[in-house]
Amino acid sequence: MREYIIGRVMQGFATIVVVSMIVFLLTRISGDPTDLMMSPQATEEERQIFRRLQGFDQPLWQQYVTFVTNAMRGDLGKSIRWGEPVVSLVWQRFPNTLQLALTAFLIALLVGLPVGALSALRPNGFFDSFGKIFALLGQSIPSFWLGIMLILLLSVHFGLLPTSGRGGGLFTPNGWKYMIMPALCLSTFSMAAITRLTRSGMLDVLDSEYIKMVRLKGASETMLVWKHAMKNAMIPVLTVASLQLVGLLNGSVVIESVFGWPGIGSLAVQAIFGRDYTVVQFVALMTSVMFITTNLVVDILYAYIDPRIRYGRTD
């Protein structure tokens, strides 16, 4: 088990290194990023100054080394537009996105798990048909279009909810009104995925010999389902569910645009259109590292839950 953890951590670390290289190269693909980052009106002189300031005249490998060493010190550059350090800029907006993503994740779980489980327990019943259609739609409807439609319906037509903005966040009395639609739209894809996975996981488990054995020992259906079936079925769902959370952070880019939600997604979009690539670089890097770390944590948790990994095999 110890070897397993160490192995996974090393893998994660290696992946982060590769990610840093990719992110680093993103802005340098078509050569010198100076032209990318400066407005077309900038003079050649201004460009030269900028170039030297940012170190773009140095050989690529040297730039990368500077990039990494600075990053380890916590310095990931300054926003070209706002002059502030990128890290603090992004960090300000991060909680907003996190709130949104967590809410969406919660919705996805609270709906997906029971629907998926019920779907499997009563195959071909009402919940099963409902669950299947539900999951299908969730994966087919583009979330940002759903957002626009919801705004059309609930804000414009019925005037129930505000069209955009954040309005104080979840902890204010009105805050949730701003949160519902974006969180709901963000959650649809994950909800569908979790429903499907729970359903198929449960179906597999319910078919297994050990569940038959539990039944033969005289268990009641509730005991059987909740103690044995759920725990076994949860393992694959857990892995995917946690990845969904980080995926939500990524998907929020479009949703935040639709709803004017002040998070890192909309920050990234603004930054790109404003040629502020240091900001984007950091957002990309940060999201990736979070993803890899979550993945790692989940794998390790997995090892604790599944005793086959924890204690290794004897046969």
Residues 151-170 that bind other proteins (CB under 8 A): 151-152, 156
Other CB atoms closer than 10 Å to residue 186's CB: what's the count?
A: 32
Site for other proteins in 118-147 (CB under 8 A): 136-137, 139-142, 144-146
Of 170 and 214, the one with the shorter C-beta distance to other proteins is 214
Residue 168: strand, helix, or coil: coil
In the complex, least distance from residue 293 CB atom to other proteins, rounded to whole angstroms: 10
Selected range binding other proteins among 54-62, 75-83, 84-92, 203-211, rule: CB under 8 A: 203-211
Residue 139 beta carbon to other proteins: minimum distance, rounded to whole angstroms: 6
Which C-beta is closer to other proteins: that of 82 or that of 311? 311
- Alpha carbon dihedral 298, 301, 306, 311, in 10-degree steps, equals 120
Which residues is 78 bridged to in the sheet? 85
Cite the DSSP H helix spans in the chain.
Answer: 2-26, 34-37, 44-54, 60-72, 86-121, 126-140, 143-150, 175-206, 209-216, 221-223, 230-259, 264-273, 277-305, 307-310
Rounded least distance, CB 167 to other proteins, Å: 19
Using CA atoms, how far apart are residues 134 and 196, in angstroms rounded to an integer? 10
Check: CB of residue 110 under 8 Å from CB of residue 192. Answer: no
Letters for 237-256 (x = contact with other proteins by CB under 8 A, - = none) are ------------xxx-xx--
For residue 292, the Cα-to-chain-centroid distance in whole angstroms is: 11
| Residue list 206-225, contact with other proteins (CB under 8 A) | 208-210, 212-220, 223
Of these, 134, 259, 261, 277, which contacts other proteins (CB under 8 A)? 277
177 versus 275: smaller Cβ distance to other proteins: 275
Segment 26 to 55, residues that bind other proteins, using CB under 8 A: 26-27, 29-30, 36
What letter would DSSP give residue 217? T
* Residue range at the interface with other proteins (CB under 8 A); choices 44-52, 55-63, 113-121, 278-286: 278-286
| Identified binder of other proteins from the candidate list 23, 101, 113, 241, rule CB under 8 A | 23
Give the distance, in angstroms, between the CA of residue 44 and the centroid of all CA atoms in the same chain. 41
**Minimum gap (Å) between residue 10 Cβ and other proteins:** 10
* Local structure of 78: helix, strand or coil: strand
